[in-house]
Amino acid sequence: MLKHNSPADHPIDPIAYRDLEASFFSFYRRDARLKNSLSWRITLPIRNVRVCVVKWRTHIACLCLAFGNLKSIFKSLPVHTPLSFWTALRNGARRPSQIQLDYHRWRQAHPLPCLEPHEIVPRRALVLLGPEAYAAAEIADCLDSLKALRDCSVDVASLKSIFVNFTHGDLTEKYDVVIWLRMAATLSPDYIQIACRALGESKSVFYADHDTRLSNVLHENPFFKPDFSPVLLERVDYLAAGCALSVSWLEDVLGSTNPKNQPINAPTDDTEWSLQERLYSKIRKIEPDKAVHHSLCLSHLPSSSSRHLVPSIRTVPQSSTVRSSGAKVSIIVPTAFKDGYLRNLLDSLQRTTSNVDYQLDIIVVTCEPPSSGEGMLDGVLVPFRIIWHDHDFNFSTVNNVAAAQSDGDIFIFINDDIEINEPGWLEKMIALLSLPKAGAVGALLCYPDGTIQHAGCLIGMNGGVGHIGVGLFPDTNIGHGVVSATREVSAVTGAFLAIRRDIFFKAGGFDENLPFSFNDIALCLAVRDMGYTNYISTTVRITHHESVSRGYDDTPRKYQINREHYLYARSRYPGFRVPDPYYSPNLSLSSPYVGLGDPSPASRSLMLRQSKSGVLVLLAQRKDYDPSCLAILESLTRASKQTSVRVLIASDKHTRFSQRCQNLLGRQSVHLVSIPYMQSNLRDAPEALRVLDLWLLEVVEGLQSSVDISGLSVINGQTRIIDLIGDNVARRQADGQEVYDIVDLVRS
Question: What is the share, in percent, of the chain residues with pLDDT greater than 70?
Answer: 79
309 or 531: which leads in pLDDT: 531
Q: CB count, 10 Å around CB of 115?
A: 16
Per-residue pLDDT at 43: 65
Please say if the pLDDT value at position 471 is more than 60: yes
Q: For residue 266, what pLDDT band results from cuts at 50, 70 and 90?
A: very low
C-beta of residue 532 within 8 angstroms of C-beta of residue 417:
no
Residues 331, 744: Cα–Cα separation, whole Å: 47
Q: Which range has the worst mean pLDDT, 98-107, 267-276, 479-488?
A: 267-276
Mean pLDDT of 220-232: 93
Provide the pairing of β-strand 243-245 with 205-213.
antiparallel
Please say if the pLDDT value at position 82 is more than 60: no
Per-residue pLDDT at 237: 92
Residues 655, 40: Cα–Cα separation, whole Å: 31
Per-residue pLDDT at 154: 93
Using CB atoms within 10 A of its CB, is residue 238 exposed (0-12), middle (13-18) or buried (19+)?
buried
What pTM does this model have? 0.80
Per-residue pLDDT at 683: 77
> Which residues are CB-contacts of 630 (< 8 A; sequence separation ≥ 6)?
717
Q: By three-state DSSP, how is residue 534 classified?
A: strand
Please say if the pLDDT value at position 700 is more than 90: no
CA 704 to chain CA centroid, nearest Å: 12
Task: Report the range out of 393-397, 500-504, 655-659 with the highest average pLDDT.
Answer: 500-504
C-beta of residue 113 within 8 angstroms of C-beta of residue 607:
yes
> Which residues are CB-contacts of 52 (< 8 A; sequence separation ≥ 6)?
none
311 or 275: which leads in pLDDT: 275
The one-letter code for the residue type at 240 is A
Q: For residue 11, what pLDDT band results from cuts at 50, 70 and 90?
A: very low
Per-residue pLDDT at 192: 94
pLDDT in tens, 132-145: 888 888 899 899 99
Question: What is the share, in percent, of the chain residues with pLDDT greater than 90?
Answer: 34
C-beta of residue 461 within 8 angstroms of C-beta of residue 594:
no
Q: Which range has the worst mean pLDDT, 291-300, 356-365, 433-442?
A: 356-365
The residue among 439, 413, 431, 452 whose CA lies nearest residue 334 is 413
Q: For residue 98, what pLDDT band results from cuts at 50, 70 and 90?
A: low
Residues 659, 664: Cα–Cα separation, whole Å: 9
Q: For the chain, which domains are there?
A: 43-99 (no CATH), 108-302 (3.90.550.10), 328-577 (3.90.550.10), 610-746 (3.40.50)
The one-letter code for the residue type at 615 is V
Please say if the pLDDT value at position 17 is more than 50: no
pLDDT in tens, 395-444: 999 999 999 999 899 999 999 889 998 888 999 999 999 998 999 999 99
> Mutual orientation of helices 44-76 and 101-109 as an angle, nearest 10°?
110
Say what the alpha-carbon torsion angle 83, 84, 87, 91 is, to the nearest 10 degrees: -170
CA distance to 211, 219, 240, 279, per residue, from 198 (Å): 21, 25, 19, 21
Using CB atoms within 10 A of its CB, is residue 137 exposed (0-12), middle (13-18) or buried (19+)?
exposed
Please say if the pLDDT value at position 517 is more than 80: yes
Q: For residue 272, what pLDDT band results from cuts at 50, 70 and 90?
A: confident
Per-residue pLDDT at 254: 81
The one-letter code for the residue type at 532 is Y
Q: According to the 3-state scheme, what is the secondary structure of 379-410?
A: CCCCCCEEEECCCCCCHHHHHHHHHHCCCCCE
Please say if the pLDDT value at position 305 is more than 80: no
C-beta of residue 745 within 8 angstroms of C-beta of residue 726:
no
The one-letter code for the residue type at 367 is C
CA distance to 209, 589, 603, 606, 687, per residue, from 586 (Å): 10, 9, 11, 15, 22
Please say if the pLDDT value at position 549 is more than 80: no
The residue among 211, 197, 235, 367 whose CA lies nearest residue 296 is 211
Per-residue pLDDT at 74: 56
Residues 370, 384: Cα–Cα separation, whole Å: 13
Per-residue pLDDT at 733: 81
Mean pLDDT of 258-284: 67
DSSP3 helix / strand / coil % (the chain, rounded to 5): 40, 20, 40
Per-residue pLDDT at 125: 93
Q: For residue 59, what pLDDT band results from cuts at 50, 70 and 90?
A: low
Per-residue pLDDT at 410: 94
Sign (positive or negative) of CA dihedral 127, 131, 133, 137:
positive
Please say if the pLDDT value at position 598 is more than 70: yes
34 or 224: which leads in pLDDT: 224
Q: For residue 230, what pLDDT band results from cuts at 50, 70 and 90?
A: very high
Residues 604, 732: Cα–Cα separation, whole Å: 25
pLDDT in tens, 322-338: 444 568 999 999 988 77
Please say if the pLDDT value at position 7 is more than 60: no
The one-letter code for the residue type at 318 is Q
CA distance to 124, 331, 358, 364, 422, per residue, from 383 (Å): 66, 11, 14, 11, 20
> Which residues are CB-contacts of 135 (< 8 A; sequence separation ≥ 6)?
none
